[in-house]
Amino acid sequence: MASLKDLRNRIASVKATQKITKAMQMVAAAKLRRAQEAAEAARPYSERMGAVLANITQAIGDGSDAPALMTGTGKDDVHLLVVCTAERGLCGGFNSQIARLARDHIRKLLAAGKKVKIICVGKKGFDILRRDYAELIIDRVDLREVKTLGFVNADAIAKKVIQLFNEGGFDICTLFYSQFKSVISQIPTTQQIIPAGVASAPAAVTDGGNAVYEYEPEPGEILSDLIPRNISVQVFRALLENAAGEMGAKMSAMDNATRNAGDMINKLSITYNRQRQAQITKELIEIISGAEAL
C-alpha cells in the first residue's frame, strides 16, 4: 500500500499533467480556429479552379491534345502515394488512421504486383511507414519549420511530383490526407491527382450557358499551364484540411486527457483521504487501548 506521502506526490504530479494537457487543448482550439479559417479562405479558389477546368476540358472535347498529366500514361504499373500527416504527435489516432489507410492501400497494390513509391509529407507518417516500407519511401517533405501553411509549400510538393511524372517515375499518383469533417471526426481520404480525373471536377456551372469561349493562348496551352496548378491546389487543400484535422484531433485528445487526469485525481484523493482516516483511527485505537491497559 502506498504511503500517504507517495499518494500526495502522485496527486501533485497528475495535477501538473492536467495543467499541461489543459493548456495544450486551449492552444489547439485557438490554432484550430485559424486553420479552419485558412481552409475556408482557400475554398473559393479550388472551386473556381474546378469550374474553369471542367469548362476547358469540355472545350477541348475529345482530349486528343490534352497534356499527359491529365490523360495519364495509359498504364498503371507504378503508383506514387503522397501521404500527408502531421508533424507532431499527441493528437489521438489522427496520424495512425492516415497511415493505416495508406498501408492497406500499399498492401493491396503490392499484392496486385504493382510497384509502389511513397512520398511522406510530415514526420509522423514517415515514422510509421518507415517500419514496414522503408525501401519504398523515395522522399519526405518536412514542414516542421513552417509556421503558417502557404501555397508555396504545396506548390513545392506538387512540383516535385510533376517532375517525377515527367521523368516517367510513376503512372498514377494518389494523395492521402484526412478530411476535416468536424472537431471530433476526421476522415482519412484518398484522392487520385494524376491522371486528373475529369470526372472529379464538378459539373460545369457556367453562368453564360455554353458560351463560346475565346482562348488566349490556345486551349491546350492553357490546359498544360492549368493542370500543374490544379495539382498544387489539390495538395494545398489537402494540407489545409490536414492542418485543421490535426488541431481538431489534438483538441479532443487533450480534452480526453484532461478529463482522465481529473478522474484520476478524484480517485487518488479518495484513497488518500481514506488512508489518512484509517491512520487516525489506528492511532486513536492505540491510545485508547493503551489507556485501558493501565
Partner 1 sequence: MAEAFKFELVSPERLLVSEQVEAVVIPGAEGEMTVMAHHAPVMTTIKPGVVTVKTAAGKEERYVVFGGFADIVPAGCTLLAESAVAVGDIDRADLARRIQEAREDAADAKDDQTRTKAEQFLSQLTTLEGAILPA
**Cα(237)–Cα(231) distance, integer angstroms:** 10
Residue from the set 191, 213, 262, 272 that interacts with partner 1 by CB under 8 A: 213
Residue pair 43/59 in contact by the 8 Å Cβ criterion: no
Q: Does 49 bind partner 1 (CB under 8 A)?
A: yes
Q: Does 216 bind partner 1 (CB under 8 A)?
A: yes
* Nearest residue (CB) to partner 1, 212 versus 294: 212
Cell of 12: 501533485
Where does this chain touch partner 1 (CB under 8 A) — which range of 8-16, 83-91, 150-158, 266-274? 150-158
Residue from the set 150, 168, 197, 202 that interacts with partner 1 by CB under 8 A: 150
Give the distance, in angstroms, between the CA of residue 257 and the centroid of all CA atoms in the same chain.
Answer: 20
- Closest contact distance (angstroms) between CB of 182 and partner 1 is 22
Binding mask 87-126 for partner 1 (x = CB under 8 A): ----------------------------------------
Residue 84 is a catalytic residue: no
Burial of 236 (0-12, 13-18, 19+ CB in 10 A): buried
Residue from the set 151, 159, 190, 198 that interacts with partner 1 by CB under 8 A: 151
Residue from the set 52, 78, 136, 156 that interacts with partner 1 by CB under 8 A: 52
- Closest contact distance (angstroms) between CB of 143 and partner 1 is 16
Residue 141: strand pairing partners: 121
Burial per residue of 254-265, b for 16 or more beta-carbon CB atoms within 10 angstroms, e otherwise: bbebbeebeebb
Residue 185: strand pairing partners: 182
Q: Does 55 bind partner 1 (CB under 8 A)?
A: yes
- Closest contact distance (angstroms) between CB of 49 and partner 1 is 6
**28-35 CB contacts, 8 Å cutoff, 24+ apart:** 28/91, 28/247, 28/248, 28/250, 28/251, 28/254, 29/247, 29/251, 31/247, 32/183, 32/244, 32/247, 32/248, 32/251, 35/240, 35/243, 35/244, 35/246, 35/247
Count of positions on this chain that bind partner 1 (CB under 8 A): 34
Question: Could you tell me if residue 74 is left (phi over 0), alpha (psi between -120 and 50 degrees) or otherwise beta?
Answer: left
Where does this chain touch partner 1 (CB under 8 A) — which range of 5-13, 97-105, 162-170, 204-212? 204-212
Q: Does 202 bind partner 1 (CB under 8 A)?
A: no
- Closest contact distance (angstroms) between CB of 109 and partner 1 is 31
Q: What's 148's DSSP letter?
A: S
Residue numbers at the binding site for partner 1 (CB under 8 A): 38, 41-42, 44-46, 48-49, 51-52, 55-56, 150-151, 154, 206-208, 211-217, 219, 221-222, 225-226, 229, 232-233, 236
The catalytic site residues sit at 91
